[in-house]
Structure 1
Amino acid sequence: MNPRRKKRLFAVLAVIFGIGSAVGLTLYALQENINLFYTPSELIEGKGPDKELPYIGQKLRIGGMVVPGSVNREETSLDVTFKLIDTGPMVTIKYHGILPDLFREGQGIVAQGTLVEPNVIEAFEVLAKHDEEYMPAEIAEAVKGIKHEKPKYNLNSEN
């Protein structure tokens, strides 16, 4: 192989290796910033055909309806706990901060946070639905029919 071709080959291989390394490092860095969306049923029963459960410490987003009568506000701090439901089991959300003005019981919300127990999420952001007609596509698909059905839950039991 002549020296000129050899230099070109090494240059092309170096560029390919550099691009591959950059893509790999970017994907590795973004891996921790991915927030997967769950409904309360998917969080408890698993998501997808393999029924994969999220791991403790995973960042995620969860959407559902706030269970009426489940909002508990601490009197001495900004801590709030409430339960979310879709068509199945309930999930407890713990939040420290001021809730949105449109937050109410019986309304759809999306919370972003970290899974701290199999059915408890410590949220760092709570978003309330702003209009009776609008609902993000992924939430509408996940909680289809909830708006017209009365959810089945028992406030006296701990889920």
Structure 2
Amino acid sequence: MALKSLKKKRRIQIVALAAVALVISTGLIGYAMRDGINFFRSPSQVTDAPPAPNEVFRIGGLVEEGSLERGQGMQIRFRVTDGGASVPVVYSGVLPDLFEENQGMVGTGSFVNGTFEATEILAKHDETYMPKEVVDALKEQGVYQEPGS
């Protein structure tokens, strides 16, 4: 009888220890991923509810025609639009080869003092591809055109 209760007690301890380990590992994974999860926002969402300056997120839309300016060094300024609103973007670095006005783009960075400060810029990589989030944002504003039309 004493042996049975000892085994039962040991089994409960192992199950409890496993549950605690699972909770701790889940918490550590979530903590480690918090910086790797970047939410997508359209220019309209950014202007309607500006995110905090320390929040890293992705913005996407079309590069507004006539807005591309090359500054000193490698600094580039342009505006990204979804047809409903446009947001000024500043980026220091080399732009993708396919980056041009009236083309789709996605940028990663933060919104500081009314300007999106990009740390990474991606351009659509062929005539038919555009990220789903960008297409959805453009459709919402009624400015998306199917490729080839």
Using the size of structure 2 for normalisation, the TM-score is 0.86
2:38 aligned with 1:38: no
Q: CA deviation at 1:134?
A: 2.0
Select the residue among 115, 120, 125 that pairs with 1:130: 125
Count residues in correspondence. 140
1:96 maps to what in 2? 92
SS at structure 1 position matched to 2:99:
coil
Deviations 1:91-132 (A, max 9, x none): 111101111111111211111112223x31111111111223
What are the equivalent positions in structure 2 for 1:46-61 lying under 5 Å apart? 46=49, 53-61=50-58
The alignment's C-alpha RMSD in Å is 1.6
1:107 maps to what in 2? 103
Select the residue among 18, 35, 40 that pairs with 1:15: 18
4+ runs of 1 displaced by more than 6 Å? none
Using the size of structure 1 for normalisation, the TM-score is 0.81
Answer whether contact 2:60 2:133 (CA < 8 A) is retained: no
Answer whether contact 2:135 2:144 (CA < 8 A) is retained: no
Equivalent position amino acid for 1:127 in 2: L
Higher helix share: 2
1:62 maps to what in 2? 59
Q: Which stretch of structure 1 is more off in the superposition, 4-13 or 133-142?
A: 133-142
Counting aligned pairs with the same residue, the percent is: 39
Equivalent position amino acid for 1:142 in 2: A
Q: CA deviation at 1:79?
A: 0.6
